[in-house]
Amino acid sequence: MKNSEQDLLQFIHQTGYRIEERMMENIEVHYQRSFNFSPQFTMFFVSYTVKHAFSRHTMAPTSIKNCICFFFKNIFDDESTNRKTVSGTSHEKPVVRIFPSTHTHTSYFKKGSHRKMVAIFISAAYLKSFLEKDAGQFQFLFQRDNTFLIEEIMTDDILQTVNDIVKEKHPRELMSYYYKLKTMELLFHLFQSLSHRRQFVHYKLNKKDIISIYNVRDQLISSLQKPTPISDLKQIAGMNELKMRKLFTQIFGMGIYDYFQHLRMKEAAKLMREKQLTVSEAGYQMGFENLSHFSRVFKKHIGKLPKQYSMEFN
């Protein structure tokens, strides 16, 4: 077993982060680093490839009571760590997920997938003291009888802080202190983003509801060139339109149509940035026939006109 895998196992045993032994047999760890600040919080980041397909139940560490879990998945590049990119593997889509320690779900790991994540497990009481007077707008996080699942879209500040955390170079002195500050900085940027969400009632979620809403999200992703009719989405969700819209907004922080448009604009930006497509080519590929409309929607979601964005990479 490599040193990185041994270090990860040691962290797991120290914090009581329950993980099946067979998981370590099914993955190849490329690098990892972990910090235990119990009983307030723990943080680790890891990059690994799945050697054999498997599934596991996600559970929080037992060393932190009333814990809230933050998973920043697949949002850093191996290049930022000065380590070699793993070739011949499929890469998962970026996501940030937040849920309480009482929420358990099954994660599925596809053979050949390359996963990279930063995980933070933090005491709800400690987080509340960190937020101080601003804790009120996130009250649903601290209601013990409530269950929630939140998925947040990336911001540049989150991406930058994550890449600062995972980079290979780090301070030789006060290293633990450095990572403690960086962890709180990451949470600061995340809560800045969360604060822009509309205030709404948080409904209790059951496993069936969560699966249904993620099926709706997956359908949106699979058809970015053309919006899926609401009637089809209702059928996929197996619930009435009002409930579907409320639960979707609760989990993803924006309505179905806004979320769909945001994903389209992120993909259009990627086409201009990585494929060097022109503005008109990117717009047409994402299903827009009117380029003026495409420009307005792009500016709303990306913050600048597509022509301005394209010039930065060409």
The DSSP letter of residue 116 is E
Least confident among 19-33, 113-127, 242-256: 19-33
pLDDT, greater one: 58 or 103: 103
218 burial type by CB count under 10 A (0-12 exposed, 13-18 middle, 19+ buried): exposed
Q: What is the pLDDT of residue 271?
A: 93
Is position 207 within any domain? no
187 and 235: one domain? no
Q: Which residues contact 193 (CB under 8 A, 6 or more apart)?
A: 152, 153, 155, 158
Question: Helices 256-274 and 291-302: crossing angle, nearest 10°?
Answer: 100
24 and 70: one domain? yes
Sign of the torsion formed by the C-alpha atoms of 278, 259, 208 and 232 = negative
182 and 291: one domain? no
144 and 61: one domain? yes
Is position 234 within any domain? yes
Domain limits for position 277 = 223-311
Q: What is the pLDDT of residue 88?
A: 45
**Is residue 56 within 8 Å of 23, Cβ to Cβ?**
yes
13 and 65: one domain? yes
Is position 140 within any domain? yes
The encoded tokens of residue 196 equal: 């822009």
Average of pLDDT values for 70-97? Answer: 65
Q: What is the pLDDT of residue 17?
A: 67
Per the document, the length of the chain is 314
138: domain CATH number is 2.60.120
Given 154, 173, 194, the domain boundary residue is: 194
261: domain CATH number is 1.10.10.60
Is position 211 within any domain? no
Is position 208 within any domain? no
Q: What would the pLDDT profile of 198-257 be if each residue is shown by its tens digit? A: 766 778 888 899 999 999 999 999 999 999 999 999 999 999 999 999 999 999 999 999
178 and 40: one domain? yes
CB atoms near residue 187 (< 10 Å): 22
Is position 114 within any domain? yes
The pLDDT mean for the chain works out to 85
Average of pLDDT values for 285-312? Answer: 93
Is position 203 within any domain? no
**Is residue 287 within 8 Å of 226, Cβ to Cβ?**
yes
Given 144, 175, 194, the domain boundary residue is: 194
The DSSP letter of residue 61 is B
**Is residue 27 within 8 Å of 20, Cβ to Cβ?**
no
pLDDT, greater one: 284 or 31: 284
167 and 305: one domain? no
Q: What would the pLDDT profile of 137-159 be if each residue is shown by its tens digit? A: 888 888 766 678 899 987 888 98
Average of pLDDT values for 48-68? Answer: 82
Is position 214 within any domain? no
92 burial type by CB count under 10 A (0-12 exposed, 13-18 middle, 19+ buried): middle
Q: What is the pLDDT of residue 250?
A: 92
Is residue 90 predicted with pLDDT exceeding 50?
no
Q: What is the pLDDT of residue 15?
A: 66
249 and 155: one domain? no
Residue 39: CA atoms inside 13 Å, Cβ hemisphere, count?
A: 7
158 and 249: one domain? no
269 and 178: one domain? no
Number of separate domains in the chain: 2
102 and 227: one domain? no
- Inter-residue long-range contacts of 164-168, CB under 8 Å, 24+ positions, other chains counted: 165/45, 165/118, 166/33, 166/45, 166/76, 166/80, 166/81, 166/116, 166/118, 167/80, 167/81, 167/82, 168/81, 168/82, 168/83
234 and 172: one domain? no
**Is residue 70 within 8 Å of 119, Cβ to Cβ?**
yes
Closest Cα to residue 16, out of 46, 48, 47, 38? Answer: 38
The encoded tokens of residue 173 equal: 């002195």
Band (pLDDT 50/70/90 cuts) for residue 196 is confident
Q: What is the pLDDT of residue 95?
A: 84
| Per-position b or e across 140-174, b if 16+ CB within 10 A of its CB | ebbeeeebbbbbbbbeeebbebbeebbeeeeeeee
Strand positions, DSSP E, 113-255: 113-123, 150-152
Average of pLDDT values for 26-43? Answer: 88
Sign of the torsion formed by the C-alpha atoms of 81, 123, 201 and 138 = negative
Q: What is the pLDDT of residue 77?
A: 65
Given 173, 194, 215, the domain boundary residue is: 194
What pTM did the predictor assign?
0.82
